[in-house]
């Protein structure tokens, strides 16, 4: 292989050719040393997987490989497509491999000389491919000298001198392709020919004498007259497939003649033939009919198509005058109607119909389909569709996205008794004319009504329904899911919902977050474990009591901003023995005694902004005689009004808490867990403790005191026993001046926007993240922190006026840092 892509064969050379094209003859000893220990049979098998390029490369390895790669079994097919091979090289190859059966010289220089040598030297030639150039008449005269030739393909070529008839006469040719060729007239006499293609060739005349021809392709032969096409097709009585697409002169008379002569015609492609209307054309054996962009095809043409009772595939795309299709064809499997601008009515009846393609038909109003095998129906963006009737016993998926004119009556089509007993998936997204939707289906599994903004009422009786999408149904007022097989349901996207009925034996998660006007709710979900009713301000105690009675397995209950829930509602929580998470934030409750008395397994209690809770309301939590909620580990009291004394009692006694949130508590004062008379330290201590370990053992892990304006000092010494504290957030505490923290497991410390901070002492060997955004800490204090926090990886010192070191300097000074802001 030369660098220019040509092939340089040297059959008499005993040496090998290296990558640079040099003759590198080696001694016999060197050749034996390079020889691999492979038997000839194994090497032959390996080489059988290589193409000609890699065979040439393999021949340069050693003499054994050169001999093996030259075996004639590998050179039955000589492929020189688009390669600059010379006539001498080609003749050499033909002489070396006279038994070659397949030759491709498409795009080679001197195409005529090469093909004449192939015809004269390769007597076993069965397939010949050529093109790009000019072929003289003597080539066609020499074709009979190749008696074994079965296939001839000529493309993009000028045949003859352009003013004479080309005769192709061969007794054994089976396949002939003359594609995109220039010739005045062609005559073909091939008694064994079965497949002929004249596609895109510019010939005004074609004479065929091919009695066994079964496939004829004359697509885009624009110069062929109607009479020439009729003569060519009718001369082949056994014709089974005819492609005459883009032959604009074809008439109905020609089709009638073809129908009478070619009784076995199965496939007809008459696309882009504007003069045909199929008037009085009868093709009873037709199985595939393509009529793409036929301007003459109208509703009257359906009478002719109806006689093709064997028809399986029908294409009517872009038939601009077609207004209706009504067909009863027992074998029809596939029909396509795309870009039919005036199409209004579709009526199909076929037991074998399996694929319907209908799109961009803006005038389509009515569809009636009967089929026993159709499984999927997609009718997206049919804006005018108002009527849909289906009798499809196997239909499982339907997509009617953006069918804006569909009315509420569509619900009857997809309910039990509507003709789709196996329907599983239904998509009605953006069907904006739907107002009251109701389905009663024993098979429906998935339903999507996303974007149906006009729906005000929804009623679903679908026991196997597992998934429903209501995104964008923001005008929904009444909803009933009785019964359904849903495992989860999100109605928080329906802000106008005021009446809700849910009966779902399998449901575990129900989200009503944001249903601010919901006043009536009947929820019967025996397996429900999570209920989020945040901001449902109209839900009252009776609704909460009924829900807890019918859903005894609830573990997480969110009643944030449910301002209508009172003491009676809390009393019903005793019906929830598994309740572990309760959110009563932003409510008007002033008594939590029912929670403390009945929710013994509660682990998480959130009381954000419960401004009506008095100090005594939380006293059961730190009552030493009978402490409530022994399993509680997370408590959120942020933005509350508890006094500092109550907070002190809570922090001192509830040492079992792991998560505490006191953000925004205006009464929160200095957090000093060192010695100094702080009430937090004045708890009774067991006898025998040393002075160094007189603090209770705390399980606290996360402490948030964001935005507490009265905190000035935070001191957590080792004696505070905060061994598990890993995150401390004091950001936005604008009056905080002093920090002295020694926690062996603290990993995250956030002091952002503590603008009054003056003293920072840290002894936290595992600290990895420190935020000092907008703090007045100087570089000396920062250096002291870095000495005691050797594992620090993330440091935020943005807007710190006293720290003037650049990012590069900080990296150089503290190489352990990975992220610096």
Q: What pLDDT, on the 0 to 100 scale, is given for residue 245?
A: 95
Residues paired with residue 472 on neighbouring β-strands, in sequence order? none
Q: In what order do the strands lie in the sheet with 759-762?
A: 671-672, 713-716, 738-741, 759-762
Q: Which helix (H) or strand (E) covers residue 188, if one does?
A: strand 185-189
Residue among 60, 111, 58 nearest 81 (CA): 111
Q: What range does the domain containing 555 cover?
A: 477-579
Q: Distance (Å, rounded) from C-alpha 192 to C-alpha 454?
A: 68
Q: Which residues contact 246 (CB under 8 A, 6 or more apart)?
A: 219, 220, 222, 271, 272, 273
Asked whether 302 and 280 are in contact (CB, 8 A), the reply is no
Q: Which of 156, 234, 244 is nearest to 201 (CA)?
A: 156
Is residue 103 classed exposed, middle or buried when 0-12, 13-18 and 19+ CB atoms within 10 A define those classes? buried
Q: What is the DSSP letter of 427?
A: E
pTM of the model: 0.80
**pLDDT at position 696:** 58
193 lies in some domain: no
> CA 483, CA 527: separation in Å to the nearest integer?
14
The answer as to whether 201 is a domain residue is no
The C-alpha atoms of residue 41 and residue 542 are separated, in whole angstroms, by: 89
569 belongs to a structural domain? yes
Give the H or E element holding residue 73. Answer: none
Would 562 be classed as within a structural domain? yes
SS3 691: helix
CA-closest candidate to residue 794, choices 726, 758, 728, 748 = 748
Distance CA 354, CA 392 (A): 10
Q: Using CB atoms within 10 A of its CB, is residue 36 exposed (0-12), middle (13-18) or buried (19+)? A: exposed
Burial 120-143 (b: 16+ CB within 10 A, else e): ebbeebbbbbbbebebeeebbeeb
Work out how many domains the chain is built from and give that number. 1
**Which residues does residue 484 pair with via DSSP β-bridges, in sequence order?**
462
Q: How many CB atoms lie within 10 A of CB 247?
A: 25
For residues 462 and 440, the answer to whether their CB atoms sit within 8 Å is yes
Cis peptide bond upstream of 311, omega within 30: no
How many angstroms separate the CA atoms of 84 and 460, rounded?
Answer: 72
In this structure, are residues 673 and 720 in contact, taking their beta carbons and an 8 Å threshold?
A: yes
What does the alpha-carbon distance between residue 427 and residue 430 come to, in Å, rounded to a whole number? 9
Residue ranges for the chain with pLDDT beneath 70: 1-38, 162, 624-626, 675-696
Domain membership flag for residue 526: yes
Q: What is the pLDDT of residue 698?
A: 83
Q: Are 645 and 679 in contact (CB under 8 A)?
A: yes
Ranges assigned E (strand) in 668-764: 671-672, 702-704, 713-716, 727-729, 738-741, 748-750, 759-762
Q: Give the C-alpha separation, 458 to 440, whole Å.
A: 11
| Backbone phi and psi for residue 4, each to the nearest 5 degrees, phi listed first | -80, 0
Closest listed residue to residue 186, CA positions, set 238, 232, 130, 242:
232
- Whether 357 maps to a domain, the answer reads no
**Is residue 230 in a domain?**
no
pLDDT at 59: 86
Question: What local confidence, expressed as pLDDT, does residue 70 receive?
Answer: 83
| CA-based end-to-end distance of the chain | 60
Number of H helices, E strands in the chain: 17, 48
For residues 255 and 276, what is the distance between their CA atoms, to the nearest angstrom?
Answer: 8
Q: Is 322 inside any structural domain?
A: no
CA distance 746 to 564: 41
């Amino acid at each position: 292989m030369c660098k220019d892509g040509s092939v340089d064969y040297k059959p008499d050379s005993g040496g090998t050719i290296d990558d640079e094209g040099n003759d590198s003859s080696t001694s016999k000893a060197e050749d034996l040393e390079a020889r691999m220990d492979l038997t000839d049979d194994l090497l032959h098998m390996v080489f059988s997987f290589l193409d000609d390029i890699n065979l040439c490369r393999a021949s340069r390895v050693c003499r054994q490989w050169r001999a093996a790669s030259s075996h004639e079994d590998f050179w039955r097919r000589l492929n020189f497509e688009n390669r600059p091979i010379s006539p001498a090289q080609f003749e050499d190859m033909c002489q070396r491999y006279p038994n070659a059966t397949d030759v491709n010289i498409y795009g080679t220089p001197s195409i005529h000389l090469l093909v004449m040598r192939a015809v004269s030297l390769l007597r076993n030639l069965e397939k010949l491919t050529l093109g790009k150039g000019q072929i003289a008449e003597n080539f066609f005269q020499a074709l009979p000298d190749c008696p074994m030739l079965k296939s001839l393909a000529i493309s993009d070529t000028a045949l003859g001198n352009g003013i004479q008839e080309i005769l192709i006469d061969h007794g054994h040719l089976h396949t002939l392709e003359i594609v995109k060729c220039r010739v005045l007239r062609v005559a073909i006499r091939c008694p064994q020919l079965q497949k002929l293609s004249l596609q895109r060739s510019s010939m005004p005349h074609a004479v065929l004498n091919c009695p066994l021809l079964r496939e004829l392709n004359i697509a885009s032969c624009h110069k062929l007259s109607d009479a020439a096409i009729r003569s060519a097709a009718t001369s082949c009585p056994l014709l089974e497939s005819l492609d005459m697409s883009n032959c604009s002169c074809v008439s109905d008379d020609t089709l009638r003649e073809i129908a009478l002569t070619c009784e076995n015609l199965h496939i007809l492609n008459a696309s882009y033939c504007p003069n045909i209307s199929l008037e009085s054309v009868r093709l009873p054996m037709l199985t595939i009919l393509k009529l793409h962009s036929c301007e003459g095809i109208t509703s009257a043409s359906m009478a002719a198509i109806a006689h093709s009772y064997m028809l399986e595939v029908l294409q009517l795309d872009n038939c601009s005058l077609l207004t209706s299709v009504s067909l009863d064809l027992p074998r029809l499997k596939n029909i396509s109607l795309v870009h039919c601008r005036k199409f209004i009515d579709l009526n199909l009846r076929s037991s074998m119909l399996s694929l319907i393609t209908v799109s961009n038909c803006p005038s389509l109003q009515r569809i009636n389909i009967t089929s026993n095998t159709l499984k999927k129906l997609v009718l997206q963006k049919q804006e005018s569709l108002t009527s849909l009737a289906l009798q499809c016993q196997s239909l499982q998926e339907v997509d009617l996205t953006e069918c804006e004119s569909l009315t509420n009556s569509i619900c009857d089509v997809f309910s039990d008794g509507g003709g789709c007993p196996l329907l599983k998936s239904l998509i009605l997204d953006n069907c904006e004319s739907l107002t009251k939707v109701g389905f009663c289906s024993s098979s429906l599994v998935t339903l999507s009504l996303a974007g149906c903004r006009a729906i005000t009422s929804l009623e679903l009786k679908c026991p196997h329904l597992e998934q429903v999408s209501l995104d964008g149904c923001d005008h929904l007022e009444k909803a009933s899911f009785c019964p359904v097989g849903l495992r989860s349901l999100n109605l928080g996207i329906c802000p106008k919902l005021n009446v809700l009925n849910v009966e779902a034996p399998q449901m575990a998660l129900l989200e009503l977050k944001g249903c601010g006007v919901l006043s009536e709710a009947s929820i019967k979900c025996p397996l429900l474990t999570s209920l989020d009713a945040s901001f449902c301000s109209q839900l009252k105690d009776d609704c909460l009591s009924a829900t807890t009675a019918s859903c005894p397995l609830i573990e997480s209950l969110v009643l944030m901003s449910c301002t209508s829930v009172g003491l009676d509602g809390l009393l019903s929580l005793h019906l929830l023995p598994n309740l572990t998470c309760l959110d009563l934030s932003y409510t008007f409750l002033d008594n939590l005694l029912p929670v403390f008395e009945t929710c013994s397994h509660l682990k998480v209690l959130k009381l954000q902004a419960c401004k009506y809770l008095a100090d005594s309301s939380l006293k059961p939590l730190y009552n030493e005689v009978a402490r409530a909620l022994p399993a509680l580990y997370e408590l959120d009291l942020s933005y509350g009004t508890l006094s500092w004394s109550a907070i002190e009692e809570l922090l001192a006694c509830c040492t079992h808490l792991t998560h505490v949130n006191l953000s925004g508590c205006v009464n929160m004062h200095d957090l000093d867990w060192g010695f100094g008379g702080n009430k937090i330290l004045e708890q009774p201590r067991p006898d025998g403790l040393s002075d160094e370990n007189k603090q209770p053992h705390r399980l606290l892990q996360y402490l948030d005191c964001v935005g507490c304006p009265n905190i000035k000092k935070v001191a957590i010494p080792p004696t505070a026993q905060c061994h598990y504290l890993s995150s401390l957030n004091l950001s936005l505490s604008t009056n905080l001046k002093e920090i002295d923290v020694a926690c062996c497991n603290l990993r995250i410390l956030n002091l952002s926007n503590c603008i009054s901070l003056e003293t920072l002492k840290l002894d936290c060997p595992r600290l990895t993240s420190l935020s000092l955004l907008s703090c007045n800490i100087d570089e000396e204090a920062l250096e002291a922190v870095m000495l005691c926090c050797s594992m620090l990886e993330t440091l935020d010192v943005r807007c710190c006026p006293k720290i003037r070191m650049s990012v590069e300097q900080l990296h150089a000074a503290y190489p352990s840092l990975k992220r610096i802001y």
